[in-house]
Chains A and B, each alone.
Chain A
Amino acid sequence: MNSRRIFTRPARFAAIPPYVWMALFFLVPFGFVLKISLSHTAITQPPYTPLFDFTAGASAIANALAALSLDNFRLLISDNLYVFSYLRSLVVAAVSTSILLLIGYPIAYGMARLPQRWQAVAMMLVIVPFWTSFLIRVYAWINILQHDGLLNRILLALHLVSAPVVWLSTDSAMYLGIVYSYLPFMILPLYATLTKMDPALEEAAADLGASPLRVFWLVTFPLSLPGVGAGVLLCFIPILGEFVIPDLLAGSNSLMIGQTLWLEFFTNRDWPVASAVATVLLILLLAPLLLYDRLQRRQLEA
């Protein structure tokens, strides 16, 4: 008991290097995003004005401050392009997360019911694709879904279609890619919660006469809710800002917000508008992020 206490002080000092690093490379940059979102584009290097030159004196700084404006945010609200992009992202994220939950839950449940030795194998099998390159897995689907790809050839061979179907550059391909890439993120938190559940509770419900469906709905599912919450947030938040998958698999008539940000930054070279897009996205994500943080703390420190 006594020696446990001796550990806490040195352990706290261990926090200092990562703390400094994250403060510098994670928190401080958000300040820059905010500042640039209030700036204007310019054909300079860097491509925005005003520039804060701290050696130029107080009046120069005051002038620079006065030049900041909310113009970019007004643009975001007034131009339908951005509003639709945010809405589309919310819809895609919500739909993808629901599909992920519907598919991931049975898989996690099956894993949790395996005999002990097989569970470690199953977990490895689920994690391995996650370690395999994300980009490669999306590309693997492009391979299969292209006009003369494997899927069309199988469908034609089985006479399920009479002509090759266009799969790529559609929303279906995008959803497929998203679900495929994020499945381990949904399965693992669910599995972690389901393994910790006491089987006696389900057995008791069954003994009292409940059908398997009722056992699931009244006992299993409510008990697995922390895992469901973690999995849902672990998927919803990053999917909202996704870029690679919609860019490679979806059509180009409607963009998700990650694509819009990329476009503004790389194609239009409009850093201020890109920063404004990022700021609004962050504000949208604030509530889910805080919720996720609370869940994460409870999970890891329980």
Chain B
Amino acid sequence: MARTRLSSFNIASLVLGLAFLYLPIVILVIYSFNASRLVTVWGGWSLRWYREFFNDEAMIKAAGMSLAVGATSATIATLLGTLAAVALSRGEGFRGRTLFSGMLYAPLVMPEVITGLSLLLLFVALNTERGFWTVTMAHTTLTMCFVSVVVQSRLVSLDRSLEEAAMDLGCDPARAFIAVTLPLILPAVAAGWMLAFTLSLDDLVIASFTTGPGSATLPIRIYSEVRLGVKPEINAICTLVIAVIAVVIIAASIASKLSSVRGESGAPI
């Protein structure tokens, strides 16, 4: 549909929309460097809130927990989500497919209080000790569908003649997948991993339900601090999290650039 003139209304809605999306974040980042404690006074540039964060043991521990949970759950979710995407895009119709895709995509929209509560009740019934692994398993369940969506849209737009050529040359399906398809979809798989990682890093509700004593994640700690009011230290923490995510996003876009350099057709992720 891209063609012809952009009306001034179009341009205005784009600019206003993007400004609306980005301004609060930009303001937050700027204030994290405010030497003054008060929001009303600009005291000059300073790193004191960052220093406070690094001296805050509880926060650092929570940050470490979040990163560990994020990396682990993202990896498991990527494995399972890629398998699911392969099944849905190549498996044609199979018995139970409707239930499968329904189950897989429901967490995308399901309110997190419901998923969190139900997972906690499961863990309690199974008498599982709540902590790192329960949060990780919960996050995997939540993020698997996002990975599956990303990988599936890539698989669907992939040129299948390459796989077929491999099999005509004598590969069995598994070998053809590993040798031909997997390298082609790898940027999408990597992007799925990063999406799962950022979602896990950010999750508050499900982590609150499924965590155990001593295993608070960063959002849980941030939330309990925010409830007490605006603290400049939180600005610094948030900016750091944004920086981490920015690195991840840049890595993701480099990965998808790599895929287009290879000459693939396919929608950007």
Please state if A131 and B245 are interface contacts (CB–CB under 8 Å): yes
A:137-165 near B, CB below 8 Å: 137, 139-144, 146, 148-150, 153
Please state if B144 and A21 are interface contacts (CB–CB under 8 Å): yes
Contact (A281, B111) CB under 8 Å given A6-B167, A18-B144: yes
The stretch of A59-67, A70-78, A79-87, A293-301 in contact with B is A293-301
A43 close to chain B: CB less than 8 A: no
- Which residue of chain A lies nearest to B165 when distances are taken between CB atoms in the complex? A3
Contact (A29, B119) CB under 8 Å given A11-B86, A14-B91, A133-B202: yes
> What is the predominant secondary structure among interface residues of chain B facing chain A?
helix
Please state if A261 and B113 are interface contacts (CB–CB under 8 Å): yes
Please state if A137 and B25 are interface contacts (CB–CB under 8 Å): yes
Given contacts A26-B107, A113-B1, A244-B223, 19 further A-B pairs with CB under 8 A are A4-B164, A11-B86, A12-B94, A15-B83, A29-B122, A32-B122, A135-B202, A135-B223, A137-B24, A143-B27, A149-B39, A150-B39, A180-B20, A199-B4, A241-B114, A244-B205, A258-B111, A275-B121, A292-B109
A126 CB, nearest partner CB in chain B, Å: 7
| Docked pose: A220 CA to B174 CA in angstroms | 44
| Docked pose: A12 CA to B208 CA in angstroms | 35
B92 CB, nearest partner CB in chain A, Å: 5
A9 contact set on B, CB distance < 8 A: 173
B:138-179 near A, CB below 8 Å: 138, 140-141, 144, 148-149, 152-153, 156, 160, 163-164, 167-168, 172-174, 176-177
State the A residues within 8 Å of B (CB).
3-4, 6-15, 17-19, 21-23, 25-30, 32-33, 36, 46, 103, 106-107, 109-116, 119-120, 122-126, 128-129, 131-137, 139-144, 146, 148-150, 153, 180, 183-184, 187, 194-199, 233-234, 237-238, 240-244, 248, 258, 261-262, 265-266, 271, 274-275, 278, 281-282, 285, 289, 292-293, 296-297, 300-301
Shortest Cβ-Cβ A-B pairs, 8 listed: A241-B111, A29-B118, A15-B87, A140-B24, A11-B90, A106-B13, A110-B10, A107-B17
| Docked pose: A132 CA to B248 CA in angstroms | 10
Please state if A17 and B83 are interface contacts (CB–CB under 8 Å): yes
